[in-house]
Amino acid sequence: MTKIHNEFSIKTKDGLELYGQGWFPESGAKKIILLIHGIGEHSGRYAEWASWFVEKKYSVFTFDLRGHGQSQGKRGHVPSVHHFLDDVQLFKHYVQEMFPQIPLVLYGHSMGGNIILNYLLEREQDFSAAIAGSPWIKIPFSIPALKLGLAKFANTVFPGLLQPTGLVVEHISRSTAVVEAYKADPLNHDKISARMFMELYMSGLMMASKAGIIKLPLLVMHGTEDQITSAKASEEFVKNANDNVQLKLWDEAFHELHNEPNNQEVFEYILEWLGEH
């Protein structure tokens, strides 16, 4: 199937230019997937992912979050999580204006999973469905009290202070090729500000208690061997949610389910789930 690729930009409320791109079939898209990527990466890493869904007659639109990839903004920094939500809302409206009759699916990976869950909890739920892959609800290890205290202090007095994310790249996927490609990609970065960390960390702590707010069909997926975000937190979130929220755990899988050796199985599962919803 012939696929079309286009690039665009959207301007945020505070004047930043965000780089966006889309992949779609020449005609007859069933639905449009709005994809929100994870921390330190960028939308271009999903080109192969998007192509697979275009072959199945889905369109995929995505953008580089502020401070990431080809978008403007201080690397690894956001003034508040609400700035991310504002940007997603602008992005959604941009796509809706082009394709007003096609149903939208909201998809977020890792930090993007945190963002889309926050969006559904705090903003709109007018999507046909949503998917959170390996969402950053909690991290799978305890943060030392001193380190967390310093982060809270820096968030107050120097919110833009940057620190390394501490990401162990080998934990993103069991595929050596994926790991090496990530390391070689100049658009990836390993920065996070005190403000960005505290905003995502604190919002994640509150998510499970608010899970019942979500009324649309939601699929939460996680790898059981994810060492970057917590699979147990995803389980807790779904346990507190309504019956419209479904959990899928992938045995032995690492963080990037779409880049795991069995990613075709993951894609087929998503496609079947979307067909049911």
- How confident is the prediction for the chain on average, in pLDDT? 94
With b for 16 or more beta-carbon neighbours within 10 A and e for fewer, the 250-270 pattern comes to beebbbbbbbbeebeebbebb
Confidence of residue 150 (pLDDT cuts 50, 70, 90): confident
Residue 158 pLDDT level (bands cut at 50, 70, 90): confident
Average pLDDT over residues 166-173: 96
CATH architecture of 3-276: 3-Layer(aba) Sandwich (3.40)
What are the two backbone dihedrals, phi and then psi, of residue 212, each rounded to the nearest 5 degrees? -65, -15
pLDDT, mean of residues 165-175: 96
Tell me the Cα Rg of the chain: 18
- Across the beta sheet with 218-223, what order do the strands follow? 3-11, 17-25, 58-63, 31-36, 104-109, 129-133, 218-223, 245-250
Cα 148 to Cα 3: distance, rounded to the nearest angstrom: 46
Confidence of residue 276 (pLDDT cuts 50, 70, 90): confident
**Predicted confidence (pLDDT) at residue 153 exceeds the cutoff of 80:** no
Instruction: Answer yes or no: is pLDDT of 1 > 60.
Output: no
**Could you tell me the pLDDT band of residue 277, with boundaries at 50, 70 and 90?**
confident
**Tell me: the pLDDT tens digits for 190-201?**
999 999 999 999
Which tokens hold the place of 54?
């275009």
Compute CA distances 251 → 24, 223, 229, 254, 273, whole Å.
Answer: 31, 6, 15, 9, 18
Check pLDDT > 80 for residue 148: no
> Is the pLDDT assigned to residue 2 strictly greater than 70?
no
**Whole-model pTM over 0.75:** yes
Model pLDDT for residues 26-58, shown as the tens digit of each residue: 888 899 999 999 999 999 999 999 999 999 999
pLDDT tens digit string along 177-186? 999 999 999 9
Q: What is the pLDDT of residues 69-124, one digit of tens each?
A: 999 999 999 999 999 999 999 999 999 999 999 999 999 999 999 999 999 999 99
